Amino acid sequence: MRSKPETIANVSVREYCFSKKQIKGIVEASQFKWTFIWSFSRGSLSVSPPLGRALIEDALLRFLLKKDYELEAGNEYNFTISAKF
């Protein structure tokens, strides 16, 4: 029986601004690295660069929605994606 494919994504929260209602950070998975801005009041997520963005965007948004009140600037987090990058 083969194990399910998975990739560990590492998230670094660089800025958590309550007045702007935004979280800024970096997410890395396999050889890819993206910056993100999550405007939690609007529920919008911006991920750049576009290369490989489709691989991470949905999984990152689910992670942010689940952990938003636990996230702090300067900390690092990780989550598992059910796909091999």
* Span between the terminal Cα atoms of the chain, in Å: 21
Q: In one letter, which amino acid is 23?
A: I
**46 is written with which tokens?**
């911006």
Each residue's pLDDT, cut to its tens digit, for the chain (85 residues) gives: 678 889 999 999 999 998 999 999 999 999 999 999 999 989 899 999 998 898 899 999 999 999 988 999 999 999 999 888 7
CA atoms of 85 and 73, how far apart (whole Å):
27
pTM of the model: 0.90
Verify cis geometry, omega within 30 degrees of 0, for the bond prior to 5. Answer: no
User: In angstroms, rounded to a whole number, what is the distance separating the alpha carbons of residues 79 and 17?
Assistant: 22
